[in-house]
Chains A and B, each alone.
Chain A
Amino acid sequence: MSKQLSLVKSTVVPVNIENIDTDQIIPARFLKATTRDGFGKNLFRDWRFNNDDENQPKPDFPLNNPKYHGKILVAAKNFGCGSSREHAAWAIKDYGFDVVVSSFFADIFKNNALNNFLLPVVVSDAFLNKIFSAVEKDVNAEIEVSLPEQYIKILATGEQESFDINNYKKTCLLNGYDDIDYLLSIKQDIEEFEHAS
């Protein structure tokens, strides 16, 4: 897993479906592993293959369409709803994505993504539609996502939008820190809190 994120410039894989739940991202029967590795091959498993068979890909699904590739996954609103399984974020990252763009993310998924250096970028409905249109027009349309400057830009048209991320998480992503590093650094505060309550 690449720890650290900054500028991502890439073509995108568009999945224009609303309410994509984490059971679709990684079905429960693939959650039996005891390590974090290898979930990418089962990303969107039941949308990618007929009869659970890797030899029967569904040609209509964007991940199976060779013309779509890149490090940025773009999906319609309420992405990552449902189960809290972090395996969903692991699967997306392991498949090769560094950024997921949607107009709305489920809360737990968003945290899980951030904890795995997968950047969830929230854009307006209008901007999301612009991305889908740009890719429809040209599958090689590139998107640039800058974490330091907090913007997302459609390079072909120059249209861009800024996105929110809290400063703490931004610092973590830029520097490769995680929450445990931080929490261990304030262990004394935690112990004092325990004594006081």
Chain B
Amino acid sequence: MGLSLFEKIWNKHVVKEIEGGPSVLYIDTHFIHEVTSPQAFKGLEKRGLPVFRPKQVVATADHNVPTINQHLPIKEELSRIQVQTLKDNCEKFGIELYGLGHPYQGIVHVIGPELGITQPGMTIVCGDSHTSTHGAFGTMAFGIGTSEVEMVLATQCLMQSKPKLMRINVEGELNKGVVSKDIILYIISLISASGATGYAVEYAGSAIRSLSMEARMTICNMSIEMGARCGMIAPDDITFDYIKGREFAPAGEKWDDALAYWKTLYSDADAKFDKEININAADIEPMITYGTNPGMGIGVSGHVPALSEIDEKEKPSFEKSLHYMGLQPGANIKGKKVDYVFIGSCTNSRIEDLRMVASFVKGKQKADGVEVWIVPGSKQVEQQAKNEGIDKIFEEAGFMLRQPGCSACLGMNEDKIPAGKYCISTSNRNFEGRQGPNARTFLASPLSAAAAAITGEVTDVREMIP
């Protein structure tokens, strides 16, 4: 029997199998950031252990950093201490840090790929659930907790039970105005916020194959939003072209060797999956969420489900969610007023996202009363945007281009959406309070978010493009 992409990578990284227990997996690259690492370093110190393979660890500060005036000291004391603690730990344990002020600083899941650190066939972990992003390169990438961060720092290994395998095939051509964010929101709305729990998911099919690396990362990024352990896409020429020439990509003879291996990383024709889902790309329209988990999504021309469409058992959670959002069952979503637009996060803050938004808003003006934040995923994305004159387009449209970080995705740093306000956001979670206490989130693509910035309400972007 043939092997799946997942199994090929898994098998190559098993150090040991424990009978009746998890496997010990070797981890090639470990990304860390300021929020989920301090307790892990403390644990190492308590045990008197060094970092086992410091050269395989890369650090950045992203969750808890301001996105304006990054040259000044961080205002909030606890945030400042946390970012400083990361710096101290990296110095002490010999770990490379791309911290504030470094030209490589940025959101951990943006910088790994853009520096060429993320490569096909690798195992990657990070104390962040959106580590699944790296799976776009045909890597096995897991989000882990802090005890596991400590474990990997101490031994470069992780204990994992082998997940079941799911393949999601998206075939055909995407409609006008529909981008990769819509594909993943559509998938999650179809299978629910827990539909892939216990599974590693491989995305396949012609619609996936035709996507750029940035677009593929958006899809793999949100795998966790349906509960998946990881998401992955088999590498191909689009992947190899993206990696070639990047800072930490192999070069010369090493490139040839790597490429020969990478080309073996695909699911064999007779590979077995525990579950397979087929989706027709033509069925997908621009998506938007109306509720408080990412599975509560609908096409923008649709309506919030009526009570009669909801299972009796699920009604209390559904009603709680709509109450929080200030929406009525059965209501149209189009035309709903928005107060904030947030374009950023590890889901949609790459140069291609910014280009997409810029080309749409060029010559247009934001609506009165709407605040628009564009937060690039990294210093390199920020610089590239400036090089291309995208910053000017945003400025003319009344959008604010900020500095790199996780920003308003998670209501942790200075960037929060005020209570009761509606934010159309390109991030990944619409949970209660996610963007700030009592903030209300509509998840959508960068294109749909840009359209709402111009009209001041939830808009069907298809009506605004030729």
Contact = CB atoms under 8 A, between A and B. Distances in A.
Given A31-B412, A169-B22, 6 more contacts: A28-B434, A34-B85, A180-B150, A183-B159, A197-B12, A197-B26
A190 B227 contact: no
Interface stretch (A5-13, A62-70, A101-109, A145-153): A101-109
A104 B194 contact: yes
B38 interface: yes
B82 A34 contact: yes
Q: How large is the interface on A (under 10, 10 to 19, 20 to 34, 35 or more residues)?
A: 35 or more
A194 B15 CA distance: 9
Contacts of B154: 180, 183-184
A86 B147 contact: yes
Contact of A104 (B197, B317, B410): B197
A112 B320 contact: no
Interface of A: 16-19, 21, 23-24, 27-29, 31-36, 46, 52, 76-78, 81-87, 89, 104, 106-108, 111-112, 115-116, 166-169, 178-180, 182-184, 186-187, 189-190, 193-194, 197
B197 A18 contact: no
B302 to A, nearest CB: 21
B135 to A, nearest CB: 15
B147 A116 contact: yes
Q: Which 4 A-B pairs have the closest CB atoms?
A: A168-B21, A86-B145, A167-B20, A28-B412
B36 A86 contact: yes
Interface residues of B, number: 67
A189 B156 CA distance: 12
A166 to B, nearest CB: 5
Contact of A111 (B19, B20, B128, B148): B148
B271 interface: no
Contacts of B12: 197
Interface stretch (B358-366, B386-394, B425-433): B425-433
B464 interface: no
Contacts, number: 181
Interface string B396-413: 000000000000001110
Nearest to B321: A19
B21 A167 contact: yes
Contacts of A32: 35, 64, 76, 78-79, 81-82, 412
A46 B432 contact: yes
A86 B39 CA distance: 10
A183 B151 contact: yes
A103 to B, nearest CB: 10
B306 interface: no
A34 B80 CA distance: 11
A36 B193 CA distance: 28
Contact of B129 (A76, A82, A89): A82
